Amino acid sequence: MATIESLLASADLPDSPTPRLDVELLLADALGKPRSYLRTWPEREPDATQLAVFQASLARRRAGEPVAYILGHQGFWNLELEVAPHTLIPRPDTELLVETALALLPATPRALLDLGTGTGAIALALASERPAWLLTGVDRIEQAVLLAERNRQRLGLDNVLFSLSHWFSALEGRRYDAILSNPPYIRADDCHLTQGDVRFEPGSALVAGEDGLDDLRAIISEAPAHLEAGGWLLLEHGFDQAETVRTLLAARGFAEVHSRRDLAGHERISLGRYDHE
């Protein structure tokens, strides 16, 4: 019988950027144990069922399927979130939106909106840090709204509401102290769409027209009607889109427009404050 140690040594994921981590996550999941178990009990032998689950998961990963979809969950901020193929996999870069909102706004009662919520990652992370805030997360995909609601219920966060809306379409007359979004921002002809994990993620959550800016333009155009005076709009975008997004924000009348860099040093989010006349 194969031991944990021998399985870790022999498993091969040549096309993965993180092969050892992927194998550990898949094996720990098959065993129903945390990753630390693999190091504590390397001589243990998985039973036939566990071994079959591991081999099946390994085959899916070799075919390119993201580990998060195979496991059905992904960590974001300090939360563990259910994920599914109809939603974008939450990524560490997006945590910059959360960090920035927490730094901008006081912990006193505020209303915030998360556009294109997907798994609910942004709204749920903020709700977990600010019990006095009321978060609304919207998505145009009903399955995404249901998934986000399952995450909310499992985490026991009562200050979040999820509903169906294509951007602001179902939010007429509602205003917020801040609006956040990680919208689609990839060009339709971007070669990365045919590479790596992105191949398995929904195109509707990734692609935004020929230049990747269609959804960013729409959000920037419509956001002022849904912001309280002095409210903030925070947007994630591509590593090379910050200057354009800042220009769009300034042209729409936003003040204090600036961008912030992610851990890799890229200008990953841009934001501005809107004062109504």
Q: Report if residue 77 sits inside a domain.
A: no
Match 């912030």 to its residue by tokens: 260
pLDDT of residue 194: 43
Bridge partner residues of 164 (DSSP): 139
Structure tokens at 75: 């960590």
- Fill in the amino acid letter for 193: L
Strands 73-76 and 79-82 come out as antiparallel
Q: Does residue 99 sit in the same domain as residue 215?
A: yes
Q: Report if residue 14 sits inside a domain.
A: yes
Q: Could you give the CA distance from residue 153 to residue 163 in angstroms, rounded to a whole number?
A: 14
Q: Report if residue 80 sits inside a domain.
A: no
Q: Report if residue 58 sits inside a domain.
A: yes
pLDDT of residue 207: 52
Q: Could you give the CA distance from residue 76 to residue 187 in angstroms, rounded to a whole number?
A: 25
pLDDT of residue 235: 97
Q: Does residue 137 sit in the same domain as residue 33?
A: no
* Torsion sign over Cα 29, 32, 37, 42: negative
Q: Does residue 149 sit in the same domain as residue 48?
A: no
Q: Does residue 107 sit in the same domain as residue 179?
A: yes
pLDDT of residue 114: 98
The predicted model scores a pTM of: 0.87
Q: Report if residue 177 sits inside a domain.
A: yes
pLDDT of residue 258: 97
Number of domains the chain is built from: 2
Helix (H) or strand (E) holding 237: none
pLDDT of residue 9: 86
Strands 79-82 and 111-115 come out as unpaired
Q: Report if residue 15 sits inside a domain.
A: yes
- pLDDT below 70 — which residues of the chain? 1, 185-211, 277
Q: Does residue 147 sit in the same domain as residue 222?
A: yes
The 10 Å Cβ neighbour count of residue 85 is: 13
Q: Does residue 133 sit in the same domain as residue 195?
A: yes
- Fill in the amino acid letter for 239: F
**CATH code at 196?**
3.40.50.150
What strand order describes the sheet that includes 227-236? 160-164, 134-139, 111-115, 176-181, 227-236, 267-274, 255-261
Q: Report if residue 70 sits inside a domain.
A: no
The 10 Å Cβ neighbour count of residue 147 is: 23
Q: Does residue 42 sit in the same domain as residue 135?
A: no
Q: Could you give the CA distance from residue 180 to residue 270 in angstroms, rounded to a whole number?
A: 10
Q: Report if residue 238 sits inside a domain.
A: yes
Q: Could you give the CA distance from residue 175 to residue 276 in angstroms, rounded to a whole number?
A: 12
Q: Does residue 179 sit in the same domain as residue 243?
A: yes
Q: Does residue 14 sit in the same domain as residue 91?
A: no
- Fill in the amino acid letter for 46: P
* Contact of 64 with 198, CB cutoff 8 Å: no
Q: Does residue 25 sit in the same domain as residue 148?
A: no
> What is the residue range of 202's domain?
85-274
Q: Does residue 89 sit in the same domain as residue 223?
A: yes
Q: Does residue 92 sit in the same domain as residue 60?
A: no
